[in-house]
Structure 1
Amino acid sequence: MSLSATLPAAPPVTNGIYVDDEKLDRIQSKVLDFTQYPHDVATLGDINIAPYSATVGATVHGLRIRPDSDVAPAVRDFLYRGLLRHGFLSFEPGTVDAQSFERLVSLFGQVKLLNTPYTPGSGKTGQLNAIDSSIKRTRMNYIWHIDQSFQNVQPPFTSLFAQEVPGTGGDTVFSNATAAYDLLDPALAAYFESLTAVHDVETQGFLTLAYHDLAQRAGQREKYPSIEVPLIRTHPETGRKQIFANELYTQRILGVTRRTSQALLDVLFDAISAPEVQARHRWTDGVALIWDNRTVQHRGVPDFGGKRRVLHRALVL
């Protein structure tokens, strides 16, 4: 008897579960339609914007900004559109130095200083703060978050400049919260859109760890009360929906039990942490980066041990 005679018959080729694409899609987890995400290189003169990954981020080549140089409106518009399109822009070393970094950031809006006792003003300019691993002891930046999502109005953009980074480690991971929303089953996504959540600055103890002075902590607590926000929100410029829940500041979903709230949040956090919606950005000295705080979530990676890591940060309003 031949070996083939002992094998079961192959399933029908017309409607068998293994050959029917519609059935295959129905029984398996959803995958992204990658045609919805930019994959071409955009060019303006000597400047080009090349995708960093399949779903999030891009690198800007050929741009140089000096403190005394003007930036043409066409260049500003080109960069702004690229940022909305890709979620973050990473500028190659040589684009700016520490003194001209704020000038780059100002192309995207008004630069705003926002600091804590562990992230003081950098001393470079009046609107930058330093994130220096030699003095910073809090680890909130290692938890997935949207900057300032505990406020009713968050800064649309955040930027960083790498002054001194380890040779290995200390990367920042970005997740496209729009792509994560696209991973959800449409019926489940519609349910999430009907829900709201509480965001609170103290969900993971941010103020408790950052402000040891009780009077300062109380002042910050009074300044930032809990807020209620939609679980899914729409980007005001692109019109695309995104998951608006993050591990650092989302406390609970309203209208359901505590256990149900956590289970539902875990579904959203699982989508945010899916590798196909992420990019791991590797820092080198002199790299500048700006991201759309309404499109991406981010977190640092604490894998650089006792090495020093110094970044300068500016928020954009």
Structure 2
Amino acid sequence: MQISPLSERFGVAIDGIDLGSALDPEAFDRLHRLFVDHKLVCFKNQSLSAEAQIAFSRRFGPLEVHILSQYNHPEHPEIFRLSNRVVDGKPMGISDGGSYWHSDLAFQEQPAKATILNALEIPPEGGDTLFVNMEAAYEALSDEWKQRLQGLQAVHRYRRKQTTDGQSTQVELNDAQKNQTPDVVHPLIRTNPDTGRQSIFAHKGMTAEIVGLPREESDRILDFLFEHTVQPQFRYDFRWSPGDVVMWDNRSTMHSATTRDLPPGQYRSLYRTTVRGERPI
């Protein structure tokens, strides 16, 4: 494996490995450590089938099946399709999925540990995925803010209604899907069980309110966190290339897609698998 940094902030690119082949335990352990330590990993020059992507993803834990079942792969429901293509009058996938700041499945009791995206089709420009290092954002807080936030819990809501700046998507949930997404409560500061490091767990697209605080105070704290976390020193904008397979640690990062900003005639299609995580502590 050849390993190089993606940015000065966080993330690594790995070349010289075939994710479609069987990885021995030593090689997998090394990959897992790179994932945990660097939070964002891009495997270059891959050609993963749906079956191979599922097999690789399952090495990290059990896989989720997304509630928006209309966009799941018809033969492999563990794969969620992200695409702005329309084939025979039907969307190939969700066209603007994740086009807001979030951590995957933060609206569930057990949010995602890892997300793995397999690039099938990449436009010549645009369609970047934006990432934030939430550990670095936490470490940059003043001691007063760290003390203020410890012990606070917040409500996380799928398709948060109090959104601004386009922090939502166009897809509507049916009644059955809405019933699968009740509000959940998670700590504002969470600890990654693989590292013991703390990070901010608040995302403009999903975190709705702080439990037990008056609305005005809750909004003031959340607005501060939303603005603080997306500062340039914590952020890395990933530019996709054909053959990329990208995975990230949802416990210590947040991200936003930009697919909805693609000009007409530019297409981006990816297969997503999502590894179930632990209940945040």
Using structure 1 for the length normalisation, give the TM-score: 0.76
Give the corresponding residue for 1:60: 14
Matched, 1:187 2:138: no
Query: Which residues of 2 match residues 124-273 of structure 1 at below 5 A?
Result: 125-134=76-85, 135=91, 139=96, 141-204=98-161, 209-211=170-172, 217-273=174-230
Shift of 1:202: 3.5
Distance 1:195 1:155, change over 3 A: same
Shift of 1:228: 2.0
Contact 1:130 1:311 in 2 (8 A): yes
Give the corresponding residue for 1:73: 25
Q: Deviations over 1:85-131 (max 9, x none)?
A: 011110101364555333332332233332515623165x4521211
One-letter amino acid of the counterpart of residue 154, structure 1: P
- Structure 2 distance, partners of 1:70, 1:222, is 39
One-letter amino acid of the counterpart of residue 110, structure 1: P
Name the SS for the 2:144 alignment partner.
Answer: helix
Contact 1:61 1:92 in 2 (8 A): yes
- Structure 2 distance, partners of 1:92, 1:208, is 29
Q: CA RMSD in A?
A: 2.3
Give the corresponding residue for 2:267: 308
One-letter amino acid of the counterpart of residue 297, structure 1: M
Distance 1:190 1:281, change over 3 A: same
Gaps spanning 5+ residues in structure 2: where? 86-90, 277-281
Shift of 1:227: 1.8
Question: Is 236-245 or 252-261 further displaced after alignment?
Answer: 252-261
Contact 1:201 1:224 in 2 (8 A): yes
Matched, 1:298 2:255: yes
Name the SS for the 2:193 alignment partner.
Answer: coil
Contact 2:168 2:205 in 1 (8 A): no
Query: Which residues of 2 match residues 12-161 of structure 1 at below 5 A?
Result: 47-66=1-20, 69-94=21-46, 96-97=48-49, 100-116=52-68, 119-121=71-73, 123=75, 125-134=76-85, 135=91, 139=96, 141-161=98-118
Structure 2 residue corresponding to 1:283, chosen from 240, 255, 261: 240
Alignment length (residue pairs): 264
- Structure 2 distance, partners of 1:263, 1:139, is 29
- Structure 2 distance, partners of 1:245, 1:89, is 22
Contact 2:83 2:94 in 1 (8 A): no
Contact 1:207 1:221 in 2 (8 A): no
Contact 1:140 1:248 in 2 (8 A): no
Contact 1:83 1:292 in 2 (8 A): yes
Instruction: Give me the identity figure in percent.
Output: 29
Contact 1:158 1:290 in 2 (8 A): yes
Shift of 1:140: 5.2
Contact 2:67 2:180 in 1 (8 A): no
Name the SS for the 1:76 alignment partner.
Answer: helix
Runs of 4+ in 1 over 6 A off after TM superposition: 205-208
- Structure 1 distance, partners of 2:262, 2:168, is 25
Name the SS for the 2:78 alignment partner.
Answer: coil
RCO (CA 8 Å, sep 6+): is it higher in 1 or 2? 2
Q: Deviations over 1:120-149 (max 9, x none)?
A: 3165x4521211112256645111001111
Shift of 1:304: 1.9
- Structure 2 distance, partners of 1:160, 1:303, is 19
Contact 1:52 1:59 in 2 (8 A): yes
Name the SS for the 1:160 alignment partner.
Answer: strand
Name the SS for the 1:111 alignment partner.
Answer: coil
- Structure 1 distance, partners of 2:140, 2:79, is 36
One-letter amino acid of the counterpart of residue 237, structure 1: D
- Structure 2 distance, partners of 1:163, 1:208, is 22
Name the SS for the 1:156 alignment partner.
Answer: strand
- Structure 2 distance, partners of 1:53, 1:269, is 22
Name the SS for the 2:59 alignment partner.
Answer: helix
